[in-house]
Amino acid sequence: MVKLKRELTLWELTLTGIGIILGAGIYVLIGEAAGLSGNMIWMSFIIAGVVAALTGLSYAELASLFPKAGAEFVFTEKAFNKRLAFIIGWLLITACIVSASAVALGFAGYFSAFFNTPIILTAIGALIVLSIIQILGIKTSARFAIICAIITILGLLGVIVFGIPYFDSINYFEMVPELGFAGVLSAASLVFFAYIGFDTMINMGEETKNPKVVVPEATIIAIVISTVLYILVAISSVSVMGWEALSQSSAPLADVAAESLGSNAFLILGFVALFATTSTILLILLAASRLTYGMAEGNGLPIVLAKLHPKWKTPWVAIIILLICSSIFVLIGKIGIVANMTNIAILASFFIVNCSAIILRYKLPGIHRNFKIPLSIGKFPIIPFFGALTCVLLIIQMEFEVILFGSSIIIIGFLLSYIFVKDNIKPVVIQEKIHTRNHKKVYKKRKKKK
């Protein structure tokens, strides 16, 4: 039987994660976010970063237990049941499809600025090329993503350096007058899109060496590095341009560079943005294909989607289906709307992942965890509780149309679960109860020995 290949090391997985987190969000959405938060955009990144970090810790603990492709599907199935697991998997696949199209539009915007190409066709062309790279193997995809990540980090460090002479030139607590702090929270909901990526790392568990240790470590390192860079870039950007000018820019970070160093800097940052968005598209589609593969292998989707290429060991059928779906969403054409559609699906699934971390502390108390979330009251972990709470906080800041879209996707997923998840919910629950009893016995024996 053909299996996914374990090839990724700690540094490869960490750089891959940083590459997707530091992608299109900061290069494309920072201008729109500034129009909501004013000069306090740095606070929006902090709030979004806290939500990502809290949920990232839940992911890290769960990944140390179940380092599998289709991670969220597996976590939810273990904590709840297969039907809810299907709905969460459906949400995340939809979010990946929509976000890949959003980033493709961001890529096309920068590419069009250089070569005056049609944005829609350019975006679809990028999706096709990057899907082909995916099919050629995880090592090929990871190496390409790492090159893009290094270029992206250098570009962001450049923006920070460009802005140093402008620090203290503005009031960093100035908000948009008619929006106030509500605008800062709305911007946090929007820029949360910039943090999507650490969940991609979790879904590479079956292709990572020593995944129970490496995946949690890589996840935490990637989130911390990305958050620090985002905050410094946000401060630098509003220092150079001010929030009003930044909010009007179609290529915001390139304009920041041009403002401080002239037109040559615009070309350099625009070039870097192409690599950042390219990496993000690749890794979002990679995450979606692994989640689709994991669900199909776990009998949550048609088995044909779990078919691997005999030579490159990649889920080529899933990759092609996702390419077609992403290309359809590109036709929407507006990245802000598309990004928020992604965020509500991601936040809803993150809410369930945090709840899964709490429930599994009770269902599987005696099982060894290579990484364990700190701060608990008895068995109850505090951090996942706040992770779930902050996800809800960001969801309620979104526009009604976006919430309606998210609700519709959940309802569609619920209806589809009756097609794909048949009568196998009960056996999973029974099996889990037996599994739990066995772990409780082991746990009691360990306590007696102590």
- CA 119 to chain CA mean position, Å: 24
List domains and CATH numbers for the chain: 10-444 (1.20.1740.10)
Token digits of residue 98: 């929509």
CA distances from 271 to 93, 114, 130, 238, 254 (A): 29, 9, 18, 21, 9
Token digits of residue 201: 């790392």
Angle at 336 between CA 221 and CA 25, to 5 degrees: 20
Token digits of residue 442: 């082991």
pLDDT at 427 (0 to 100) = 38
**194 neighbors 25 (Cβ within 8 angstroms):** yes
Rounded-to-integer distance, Cα 351 and Cα 349, Å: 5
- pLDDT tens by residue, the chain, 450 residues: 556 667 778 888 888 778 778 766 677 778 888 999 999 999 999 988 888 888 888 988 888 888 776 778 888 999 998 899 899 889 888 888 887 887 888 788 878 878 889 988 999 999 999 999 988 887 788 788 788 878 888 888 888 888 888 888 888 899 988 888 989 988 888 888 778 777 777 767 777 888 777 878 888 888 888 889 999 999 999 999 888 888 887 678 778 888 877 767 777 877 887 888 888 788 788 888 988 988 888 777 888 888 888 888 889 999 999 999 999 888 865 655 666 667 788 888 889 999 999 999 999 888 888 788 888 998 999 999 999 998 898 888 777 887 888 888 889 989 998 888 865 444 344 344 444 445 455 445 545 554
**175 neighbors 39 (Cβ within 8 angstroms):** yes
Report pTM: 0.73
**Segment holding 381, helix H or strand E:** strand 380-381
**361 neighbors 154 (Cβ within 8 angstroms):** no
Angle at 139 between CA 330 and CA 135, to 5 degrees: 45
